[in-house]
Amino acid sequence: MTRKKSLNQAQETNTKRPARLEIKNTKTTNVVKSEANGRKRSTNIKRTVETPPLNYDLSSLIDAPVFHPDEKEFNDPIEYLEKIQHECERFGICRIVPPASFKPECQVADGMRFTANNQYVHRMFRRRGTNSCILEAIHRHLRELNINYQPPPCIGGIEVDLPGLYEAVQDLGGPGHVLENNLWSKVADTLKIPQGAHDRFSKLDSIYCKYLLPYATLSDEERKKLMHKIESQKNRHLTDDEDENECVVKGSSMPLSTFYRIARNTLSVWFPNTNSSATDASDLDPAQVEAAYWKLVTKRVAHVRVHSGNIDSGQSGYGFPCNKTSRHPWNLKVLTNNNGSVLRSLGPVPGCTVPTLHVSMLFSASCWYRDPHGLPWIDYLHTGADKIWYGVPSLQESVLHQAMNKLVPDLVKGDKSVWLSSDTVMVPPTMLADQKVSLSRTIQKSGQFVVVWPRAFTSSLSTGYSVSESVCFAPMDWLPIGDACFKELRINNEPTVFSLQQLLWSIAHDSRSTVNVLKRVLPILKPDVDEEIQLRSSLRDFGVQQWRKLPVTSEPSSKDGKKRRQTSVTDDGEMECEICQASLFFSRAECHSKADSPVTWCLMHALKKIKDHPRVTQHIRVFYVHDEAELRKTVQSLQDHIKSKALRRAPAHHRSSTL
Ligand SMILES: [Zn+2]
């Protein structure tokens, strides 16, 4: 993966939220090609689940706590967050309203380009409703006629709801009547085509003729046959279109100005009487948007596509400014280097320690999600419409898991640690509350922060165009949580966005690390080092002979331009074991048994391979940066350092008794 982008192009990430970079897992759909007919077939055994009625009663939700720190309290963010954590961890999320003096700049440019995500609102909860079946029948017929329907037709940047257009024309007396009497203005009103699109009538006419007329001119018998085919495929969970199994898919690249125009049109479609300026506060009641959204999501009658974008702010310099005059500690580009966050020793990791900029529009959402590393994160709404947040605390995980299993069994991955992939599902919070999930809600206004606590689940919904920015952080108390998360991820063969060993190693060698942090690092790092030494010795015992010590490389740190000691077995720190997907740091084993590219394993899995197939031994090369003596030395000096600090602090009589 190359990180170098042209200077005038914002760097893009796949992240919805921090740390989603490589976590998106498409396994939920398990679409494979059936060899016999080349069709895609889902391997999941799907269960049909009734959709419970949507009773949108907000009183079943709990208000997340809100904090109003004064100027004095609003100084060190990590210190402040540590102070309030115990009070609000049981809500999963909280909102922070900064003092009025906090007015940071937000740097964005109309020309800022990014790859937008397409979000299909009607597929957010259950994938296929009646509208999807009609659309599939239309698509199938077009395919039979060799008519290309990708990209889908748009007016004013908004995708036209083809089944809706078909119905609207039928309701007005059929295509003959509509074309003859030029009733496109009536059709446009029914479909709520944005009024700003001046050529909307002629566009509707040509879209209808190209994409729907062939389908409309089929006999009832032929259409019935087509629908029957689609229905029976639906029951067997076959689909012609792989994207139909996803609710969020990668869309096209667009500049911010285009995104904004689509956002403005989207708002005018659904709320035509609203002030649609992006920066002005809208008079729209967020609860009204919320109710309309969940109705669209659960009813699945209309075909609604909206967009969102996630942009790596690190190299582009968008979002919070990076210059010397903007060094407020709550500026997220400053916060990520706060003394209290152990992640700062890791250096810049896009989607994790480098803030991500999020652009949203009406009805664009962040699906239910939690950071797989158990990291807390913070989101600042720079400008635009309110964002509604839902949170479920870590303690409620099993209740939430049960509820999700009941409501969306096809989208939940058994008992894995990451049982909910990112960009997978939006479940109405009231439905979760009905299943006894303790769920909190808050409305973030522009200029406010939302904090998501370790291992909490969240989702959010935008009520209009907005720009926000988020970043992960980690107080030292996160270290044992992170250790448990990384272990679980490895057992489940799930990828991580960084190596925990690399983080621990960096903290141990970081002169800024306090003794309290080192005390938490030691009990995690020592067993890892012991295991590494043990594995190397076992590999030698089993006959591995090719060992290569790699030089310690130093890379310039992007933040301060100073050289940072980066020590890893991979050039860019992104190499993973092909079996457990662990990010490799201390060492990596390469198997060169085949002529083409070698296979990379962690030492544990290399040893397992050797035990299962002794013949691979001769093909294995182990690469490492630090030899065993260096590994031991790091642990020893960590122990010595902690001991010396403890001695210095202990009173004299106590000191003599311990000696
Ligand atoms: Zn492995």
Query: Which DSSP category does 319 fall into?
Result: B
Determine the 3-state secondary structure of 547 from DSSP: strand
Write the pLDDT tens digit of every residue in 453-489: 999 999 999 999 999 999 999 999 999 999 999 999 9
């012991």: which residue's tokens? 530
Residue 29 sits at φ, ψ, to 5 deg, of -90, -25
Query: What mean pLDDT do residues 245-264 have?
Result: 93
- Cα–Cα distance, 624 to 584 (Å, whole number): 10
Distance 457 CA to ligand 1 centre (A): 28
What is the whole-number distance in angstroms between the Cα of residue 579 and the centre of ligand 1? 5
Q: Which amino acid is at 171?
A: D
CA of 609 to the centre of ligand 1 (A): 10
**pLDDT for residue 287 is more than 60:** yes
The pLDDT confidence band at residue 18, using thresholds 50, 70 and 90, is very low
**CA-based radius of gyration for the chain:** 28
Render pLDDT for 430-449 as a digit per residue (tens, 0 to 9).
999 999 999 999 999 999 99
* Cβ proximity of 29 and 412 under 8 Å: no
Which two three-digit tokens encode residue 585? 């740091």
Q: What is the DSSP letter of 407?
A: H
Q: What DSSP character marks residue 91?
A: G
Give the other-Cβ count within 10 Å of 612's Cβ.
Answer: 8
**Torsional sign, CA 158, 164, 168, 169:** positive
34 pLDDT more than 50: no
How many whole angstroms separate alpha carbon 310 and alpha carbon 116?
8
Dist. CA 249 → ligand 1 center (Å) = 30
Q: Residue 189 carries which side chain, given as an amino acid letter?
A: D
What is the per-residue pLDDT across 544-563, written as a single tens digit (0 to 9) for each?
999 999 987 654 333 333 33
383 by Cβ neighbours in 10 Å (0-12 / 13-18 / 19+) ranks as middle
Q: How large is the average pLDDT for residues 258-268?
A: 93
Separation of CA 489 and ligand 1 centre (Å): 11
Beta-carbon contacts of residue 530 (< 8 Å; ≥ 6 apart): none
Distance 27 CA to ligand 1 centre (A): 19
If we measure between CA atoms, which residue out of 459, 499, 515 comes closest to residue 584? 499
Q: Say how many Å lie between the CA of residue 391 and the centre of ligand 1.
A: 33
Q: Which pLDDT does position 68 carry in this prediction? A: 97
Distance 605 CA to ligand 1 centre (A): 5
pLDDT per residue as tens digits for the range 164-182? 999 999 999 999 999 999 9
pLDDT in tens, 310-347: 999 876 789 999 887 788 999 999 999 999 999 999 99
> What is the Cα 144 distance to its own chain's centre?
37
Peptide bond into 556 cis (omega under 30): no
**Centroid of ligand 1 to alpha carbon of 379 (angstroms):** 33
Determine the distance separating the centroid of ligand 1 and the alpha carbon of 369, expressed in angstroms.
Answer: 25
Report the separation in Å between the CA atom of 12 and the middle of ligand 1, taken as the mean of its atom positions: 29
Distance from residue 567's CA to the centre of ligand 1 (Å): 20
Task: Identify the helix (H) or strand (E) that includes residue 489.
Answer: helix 478-491
Nearest of 473, 480, 457 to residue 395 by alpha carbon = 457
For the residues of 616-642, what is the DSSP string, one character each?
Answer: GGGGEEEEESS-HHHHHHHHHHHHHHH
Least confident residue range of 28-32, 44-48, 99-103, 565-569: 28-32
Highest mean pLDDT among 54-63, 402-411, 558-567: 402-411
Where does the pLDDT of residue 390 fall: very low under 50, low under 70, confident under 90, or very high at 90 and above?
A: very high
For residues 72-101, average pLDDT: 96
Task: Report the pLDDT value the prediction gives residue 514, as an integer from 0 to 100.
Answer: 94
25 CA from centroid of ligand 1 (Å): 18
**Residue 286 in this model has a pLDDT that exceeds 90:** yes
Interval 217-227 mean pLDDT = 90
Tokens matching residue 430? 């009231």
What pLDDT score was predicted for residue 1? Answer: 32
Provide, rounded to the nearest whole percent, the portion of the chain with pLDDT above 90.
66
In this prediction the pTM is 0.86
Cα of 608 to ligand 1 centre, how many Å? 9
Question: What's at 394, amino acid-wise?
Answer: S
Q: What are phi and psi of 202, to 5 degrees?
A: -65, -35
Give the long-range contacts of residues 183-192, CB within 8 A, separation 24 or more: 190/164, 191/160, 191/161, 191/164, 191/165, 192/269, 192/270, 192/272
Q: What residue type is 300 in one-letter code?
A: R
SS3 track for 332-368:
HHHHCCCCCCHHHHHCCCECCCECEEEEECCCCEEEE
Q: Is the pLDDT of residue 24 over 50?
A: no
C-alpha 583 to ligand 1 mean position (Å): 9
